[in-house]
Amino acid sequence: MRRTSIALASIMALVLSLTACGLQSGGALPLPVKPGSITVQPDLNGQSISVGSKDFTEQVVLGYILGFSLAAAGAKVRDMTNIQGSNSARDAMASGQVDVLIEYTGTGWINYLGNEQPLPDATDQYNAVRDEDLKRNDIVWVDPAPMDNTYALAVNKANAAKTGVKTLSDYAALLERDPVAATTCIETEFRSRQDGYPGMAAKYGFNPADAKIQILQTGIIYQAVANGNCAFGEVFTTDGRIKALDLDVLTDDKSFFPHYNAAVTMRADVNKEFPSIAKVMAPVMAKLTSEEISELNRQVDVDGREPADVARDWLVKQGFVTV
């Protein structure tokens, strides 16, 4: 496969950087699959394709859904899921370390392309990021899914009743009058992202420096909110732990957070060489509603199942692959 030509020194710097972020050389998929409704494609048959993902539950599940689908189509898939952080995953794909991964439209629009204002319509948002990323960076976006995993703040039932907070405007008002009552747990990336806490503070008119913030790992925040150790906490709206822990999601009444529809992304050279990637993934991505991915996330985070098992079982249930 063709790779972007860059200087040896840049390659070594990139490898060292990505290794430090947890990106290794990759290996085979942990489970075998056979064709189902996905059939072997001539352009993919026997070809090496590296599939990446970020390092949180939903992304790893999506990475395996992508990897198993391409394996059923005949590709020799190299498993490079679980890359630490959005920027590292994006850099790995853009540089040629990873060939294909599933990304979110809001992340692409705000974080990678540097736009400050999201588009309120999900289709318009996808079309805009697709067109601009191809024009500026030779990155192709295909097969947007109906699932929309946006950011939110959540609260447990007791604190919701105690504070009366139901919307982000209510949260901003509480923070101004009683910052201790509005103690909020977030993870490091959300604290610095323009589509995260700083941007939300600007939209809702409060000073983030006044907030009582605790930094926790993403997976810990849900239980900390449920236990009341954090009055409020950052969540992903498709996370199965919201329902399992009976949390309330605050309404984004000023529509700050962008749409984060998942879509397949790859470099233009990969798309040109392997056009069947988009063909294979179109029906798979169409099945990935917010409800479907929430259930898959719940199986991992609540039931303790392995992401690869969850991803393969879902593909088998849908008839895309066999075992």
73 vs 40, 99, 281, CA distance in Å? Answer: 4, 16, 10
Domain boundaries, the chain: 31-148+260-322, 151-249
CB of 45 within 8 A of CB of 76?
no
Bridge partner list, 154: 233, 249
User: Candidates 3.40.190.10, 2.60.40.10, 3.10.450.50, 2.60.120.380; correct CATH number of 31-148+260-322?
Assistant: 3.40.190.10
CA dist., res. 69 & res. 114, Å (int): 32
**C-alpha atoms less than 13 angstroms from C-alpha of 2 in its C-beta half-sphere:** 11
pLDDT in tens for each of the 323 residues of the chain?
Answer: 333 333 333 333 344 344 434 455 679 999 999 999 999 999 999 999 999 999 999 999 999 999 999 999 999 999 999 999 899 999 999 999 999 999 999 999 998 999 988 898 999 999 999 999 999 999 999 999 999 999 999 999 999 999 999 999 999 999 999 999 999 999 998 998 878 999 999 999 999 899 999 999 888 999 999 999 999 999 999 999 999 999 999 999 999 999 999 999 999 999 999 999 999 999 999 999 999 999 999 999 999 999 999 999 999 999 999 99
CA dist., res. 165 & res. 251, Å (int): 10
CB of 165 within 8 A of CB of 215?
no
pTM for the whole structure: 0.84
What 3-state DSSP class applies to 213? strand
The CA-based dihedral angle spanning residues 58, 108, 184, 290, taken in that order and rounded to the nearest 10 degrees? -40
Phi/psi for 265 (5° steps) reads -125, 145
**CATH number of the 151-249 domain:** 3.40.190.120
CB of 22 within 8 A of CB of 55?
yes
